[in-house]
Amino acid sequence: MLLSIFLLVGLPPQIKAAEVLEEETTPKYLGATQKKTYEKAEEIKGAKVFKAKYFFAAAQGYDNNVYLDSQRKGDTFSEGILDASVVYPMTGRWDIFGGIGVHDITYWDVTDASLVDTDLKFGFEGKFFGTVTLTALNDFEVVEYPYNEDGSYIGDKIGFKIKHLLPKTYLPATFFHSFGYEYFYKDYMDRKASNGYGARSPNDRVDKRHTLNSEFGAYFKKAMLKLSSEFYVTDSNDIYFDYYDYQSRRIGLSLIYLFTDKMTAIFSVGHQRKHYDHRVTQVDNTKCETDNIVTAGASIFYDIYKNASLGLNYFYRENDSNDPIQEYSGSITSLGLYCRF
């Protein structure tokens, strides 16, 4: 009887499309990942790190589960990325950099999942000592959902990364490891936080995230293999059931391989465990929700010109949760053009 009453009057507010997309789905981050892996492939090809002033990408794809739920609503989407960056060498050891980027995702039918992400970045990087490099970054971000303003927010990321190239051994590879920290502040300017009774307060919803990450990998002549781990804690001022407070642990393995001078492949797998501090399951109000998310992805890039490549991408995600209503699986397939100038 107690459980029935809880399910009737104690359920957390329904998650809206923009919120689900920002927190749970992959299109926004998938596009960014494609960009980073494409850049890394270019680094392996060159004798030194390839620094570009402009990056452009346009992709067309299909998401077979936009909201990542049991209804499995699929939709076609168009994706575009435009980045411009400037690197200025201060000394022989240190550079300062800045840039602006715009990332647009437009769903053809599920329009409330469409978004525009604008970033303004600046920071510095260089040799700390020996083969140790330090990168410090500030990333000011504005994410807008044109058809669902509740998901729009203004954010700021501040962090650093220390990377160390290990001494060479008899093995045909150069090994590295890194450690980083990031603080992420998000202000949902069109959405008010809920108070302890579920009513809206006069304050904007604000989420704060602290992230620790590490990597260990190896550069080979035609490949890069990397093992990564990430831990973060999210704290929100939306105190109704502390619905958005949780801890996340993620491990991942990725491989970039150059089949030929023109063809590059990227493979990745990962597992993420999210444990909510106080969000209870809808089948047992004595247990907090715990999600176990498995991901797998693959991309193939083919150079059609010196600074242009075609990319075919596939990404799969599945959640095994102790709350059956949160279980889902979904995949995204896309074909894109990637250009650097």
Predicted pLDDT at 7: 29
Q: How many domains does the chain have?
A: 1
225: Cα separation from own chain's centroid: 19
Specify whether the CB–CB gap between 174 and 219 falls below 8 A: yes
165's tokens: 């190239």
Annotate 139-186 with three-state secondary structure: EEEEEECCCCHHHCEEEEEEEEEEEEECCCCCCCCEEEEEEEEEEEEE
pTM confidence score:
0.83
Cβ contact 98:67 at 8 Å: no
- What pLDDT score does 115 carry? 93
* 31-70 residue pLDDT tens: 555 555 555 555 555 444 446 588 899 999 999 999 888 8
Nearest partner of 330 among 97, 79, 25, judged by Cα: 25
For the four alpha carbons of 157, 100, 253 and 163, in that order, the dihedral sign comes to: negative
CATH number at residue 98: 2.40.160.40
Distance CA 311, CA 300 (A): 5
Q: Phi/psi at 23 (nearest 5 deg)?
A: -90, -35
Give the residue carrying structure tokens 């444990």: 275
Judged by DSSP in three states, 51 sits in coil
Contact predicate 138/147, CB 8 Å: no
Going by the DSSP 8-state scheme, the letter that residue 1 receives in this structure is -
Whole-angstrom distance, CA of residue 212 vs CA of residue 183: 9
Closest CA to 105 of 13, 213, 22, 43: 22
Q: Tell me which residue of 146, 145, 109, 141 sits closest to 20, measured CA to CA.
A: 145
DSSP per-residue letters across 222-268: SEEEEEEEEEEEEEES--GGGTT-EEEEEEEEEEEEESSSSEEEEEE
Residue range of the domain that includes 127: 2-340
pLDDT tens, the chain, 341 aa long: 333 322 223 333 333 333 333 344 334 444 555 555 555 555 555 444 446 588 899 999 999 999 888 888 999 999 999 999 988 888 778 889 999 999 999 999 988 899 999 999 999 999 888 889 999 999 999 999 999 888 899 999 999 999 999 988 777 888 999 999 999 999 999 888 887 666 788 889 999 999 999 999 999 888 999 999 999 999 998 887 577 899 999 999 999 999 998 999 999 999 999 999 988 888 888 899 999 999 999 999 999 998 899 999 999 999 999 999 889 999 999 999 999 88
pLDDT computed for residue 191 by the predictor: 87
H helix or E strand, kind and range, residue 40: helix 27-45
Residue 43, both tokens: 């680094």
Please report the pLDDT score of residue 1 as a whole number: 33
> Residue 265's pLDDT is what?
93
Beta strands 115-129 and 288-305, pairing class: unpaired
Neighbours of 329 (CB within 10 A): 15
Which residues fall within 8 angstroms of residue 337, CB to CB, at 6 or more apart?
Answer: 57, 58, 59, 308, 309, 310, 311
Paired tokens of 158? 């501040």
